[in-house]
Amino acid sequence: MTHNIDRARLMLMLNDLRLPAIKQNWPDFAERADKEGWPAARFLAALAEHEIAERDRRRLARHLAEAQLLPGKTLDSFDFDVVPMISKAHVMAICAGDSWIDKGANLILIGGPGGGKTHLASAVGLALVENGWRVLFTRTSDLVQRLQVARRELALEAAIARLDRFDLLILDDLAYVSKDQAETSVLFELISARYERRSTLITANQPFGAWGKVFPDPAMTLAAVDRLVHHATIFEINVDSYRRRAALERKKKGAGRPQSYATINDLEAVSLPDNQNET
């Protein structure tokens, strides 16, 4: 009877202490400890280690769910051989995060469609989540629309502030934001709010010199570029589209026709600071 009362009291206390892993598994640990003659310190340490491991697992699951990363886009599945201008070792160092995310630095991927920018961005985001950082992946146009709604509801500042909980914000396909004053102004406010505070990863099909198609005001264009590249690593992915490569392979096998593809020029003339490649 006393044993049952103690067991019930222990369960209640573990509930109050919010130790669900210990609550669920302590009987198994206790049985093993009795059989193997563990000292009390070893028994308590084993329980604590299990609780910590379970908390880490649950935290990782939550952060992966909130990150909204693309399924299947990992560094292991990214073909570095077809993008020789990008060092795998450099990318792996970036995925640690501590050399740039703590400083609110940025990462910018520029290149034509089908070059792997979105895959690489999502894969970097996944690696950072696994290393303990909080990440959000979103199409730029989708986020801009949500921010516009927030502005109409007089809640833009609060909406941007909520994004502060993410160490890295991945804005995919920047160039697809329409050249509309309302859209580009909220995008500029987001970039300005995160400047030197929180990191941003940008993917864009257009070089900096063509960003006037996104921001209608030339002064706003230069200001946005300046804030993004001030502390940034910039990767130019000037390779053939993987969709075109796949189509050519199918053609060789008699199973399809290649799609047309237009290359993207190198970075056009935009005044960039000398430290544009720093991490």
117 and 86 Cβ atoms separated by less than 8 Å:
no
* Domain assignment of residue 74, yes or no: yes
User: How far does Cα 167 stand from its chain's mean position?
Assistant: 8
Domain termination residue (choose one: 65, 86, 108): 65
Rounded distance between C-alpha atoms, residue 151 and residue 232, angstroms = 29
Residue 260 lies in a domain: no
Query: Do 150 and 158 meet the contact criterion of CB atoms below 8 Å apart?
Result: yes
Which two three-digit tokens encode residue 173?
């396909």
The counts of H helices and E strands in the chain are 10, 5
Instruction: Give the pairing type, strands 168-172 and 135-139.
Output: parallel
57 within some domain:
yes
Which residues lie closer than 8 Å to 163 by C-beta, 6 or more apart? 136, 169, 190, 194, 198
Tens of pLDDT, residues 93-126 = 999 999 999 999 999 999 988 889 999 999 999 9
One domain for residues 174 and 242:
yes
Residues 115 and 173 in one domain: yes
Last residue of a domain, one of 23, 44, 65: 65
What is the value of pTM for the model shown? 0.78
Distance from C-alpha of 236 to C-alpha of 250, rounded to nearest angstrom? 27
Nearest alpha-carbon partner for 141 in 187, 181, 108:
187
Q: Which domain does 230 fall in, by range? A: 68-252
Domain co-membership, 60 together with 88: no
For residue 127, give both structure tokens: 């690696």
Residue 265 lies in a domain: no
Residues 42 and 109 in one domain: no
∠ CA 199-200-201, rounded to 5° = 130
Pair (190, 52) in one structural domain: no
pLDDT of residue 246: 58
Same domain, 165 and 51: no
In a domain, 189, yes or no: yes
Contacts of 83 (CB under 8 A, 6+ apart): 115, 116, 237, 239
Neighbours of 136 (CB within 10 A): 19
Q: Give 67-87 pLDDT, tens digit per residue.
A: 999 999 999 999 999 899 999
Higher pLDDT, 254 or 99: 99
User: Sign of the C-alpha dihedral, residues 96, 100, 101, 103?
Assistant: positive
How confident is the model at residue 247, as a pLDDT?
58
Residue among 182, 96, 111, 174 nearest 140 (CA): 174
- The answer to whether residue 269 sits within a structural domain is no
**96 plus 146 within the same structural domain:** yes
Domain identity same for 151 and 239 = yes
Packing angle between helix 2-16 and helix 20-36, nearest 10 degrees? 140
Q: Are residues 104 and 216 in the same domain?
A: yes
Same domain, 57 and 119: no
Whether 98 and 116 map to the same domain: the answer is yes
pLDDT-derived band of residue 252, with 50, 70 and 90 as boundaries? low
User: What percentage of the chain carries pLDDT values higher than 90?
Assistant: 61
Q: What's the CATH code of the domain at 245? A: 3.40.50.300
Domain count, the chain: 2
Question: Whole-angstrom distance between the N-terminal and C-terminal Cα of the chain?
Answer: 64
**pLDDT for 250:** 63
Q: Are residues 54 and 75 in the same domain?
A: no
Picking from 33, 65, 97, the residue at the C-terminal end of a domain is 65
